[in-house]
Amino acid sequence: MKRKNRGRLFIVSAPSGTGKTTLCQNLSSIIQNLRHSVSYTTRPMRHGEVNNRDYTFIKEDVFRRMVRRDEFVEWAEVHGNLYGTSRKRLEAMLDKGIDVILDVDTQGARQIRKKYKDGIYIFILPPSLRALKERLKKRMCNSKEEIQRRLKRAVDEISEYKKYDYVIINAVFDTAIEEMKAIISSENYVQII
């Protein structure tokens, strides 16, 4: 099969704690020609995170300058922190024919949908809100108030799942990975034929 010139964009959204970032990072490590887009954020680095692998961690004033210069394809304030996807980084990968998987919240997906109509949009659901609450507790960095705020936001985000091309329930991580691999393979096959 002949490879297309421009990469495909896969946009993944899910409530905080559902596993979207871990799924995206794992997929980019096992699928040839798929890269995980690293977002910018103003939030503090968590234990075990690495700058420019998990996120590019920057100060709020630097982030806001980038917003004023229109350097993000999407950006949002989420849970009191700023997150954004670099236009320059994203376009460089797509122009090289690299497929990009990008994990963003539903606000970011709405912004991207206006600019990338041919993107493939995937929504990840937790098996239940109870399971999501347990996952958020296990992070050990979320206060009770923060967990409640994230759960309330999760309900709002979940209501948008119908706007996505695919929906996956991340009850068993390996199953969710296989389902996402199937989506990426089928979408790339459809584009080639």
Q: What is the pLDDT of residues 22-74, one digit of tens each?
A: 899 999 999 999 999 999 999 999 888 999 988 999 999 999 999 999 999 99
Q: Which residues does 186 contact at the CB level (< 8 Å), separation at least 6? A: none
**Residues 72-130: tens digit of each pLDDT:** 999 988 778 999 999 999 999 999 999 999 999 898 999 999 999 999 999 999 988 88
3-state secondary structure of 67: helix
Dist CA 132 CA 122 (whole Å): 18
Q: What is the dihedral of CA 4, 180, 74, 90, to 10 degrees?
A: -40
Distance of CA 32 to the CA centre of its chain: 19
What is residue 193's predicted lDDT score, i.e. its pLDDT?
40
In the chain, the amino acid numbered 171 is A
Q: What's 107's domain CATH number? A: 3.40.50.300
Greatest Cα pair distance, the chain, in angstroms, is 52
Confidence at 2, pLDDT banded by 50, 70, 90: very low
Q: How far is CA 74 from CA 66, 120, 169, in A?
A: 11, 16, 25
Asked whether residue 193 is domain-assigned, the answer is no
What pLDDT shows up at residue 4?
Answer: 59
What single letter denotes the amino acid at residue 62?
A: V
Location of structure tokens 């994230």? 150
For residue 4, tell me if it sits in a domain.
no
Give the pLDDT confidence score for residue 87 in this predicted structure: 96
What is the per-residue pLDDT for 191?
52
Domain total for the chain?
Answer: 1
pLDDT value of residue 46:
87
Is 191 a domain residue?
Answer: no
Residue pLDDT, tens place only, 122-172:
999 998 888 888 888 776 566 788 888 888 888 889 999 999 999 999 999
Contact of 37 with 89, CB cutoff 8 Å: yes
- Please give the single-letter amino acid code of residue 23: L
- Measure the CA–CA gap between 181 and 84, rounded to whole angstroms: 25
Rounded mean pLDDT, 7-34 = 92
Does a structural domain hold residue 3? Answer: no
**For residue 192, is it within any domain?**
no
Q: How many H-runs (helices) and E-runs (strands) does the chain carry?
A: 7, 9
Please list, in sequence order, all residues whose beta carbon lies within 8 angstroms of the beta carbon of residue 69, skipping any fewer than 6 positions away: none
- pLDDT over threshold 90, residue 176: yes
Q: Do residues 113 and 9 make contact, with C-beta atoms less than 8 angstroms apart?
A: no
**Which residues span the domain enclosing 37?**
9-186
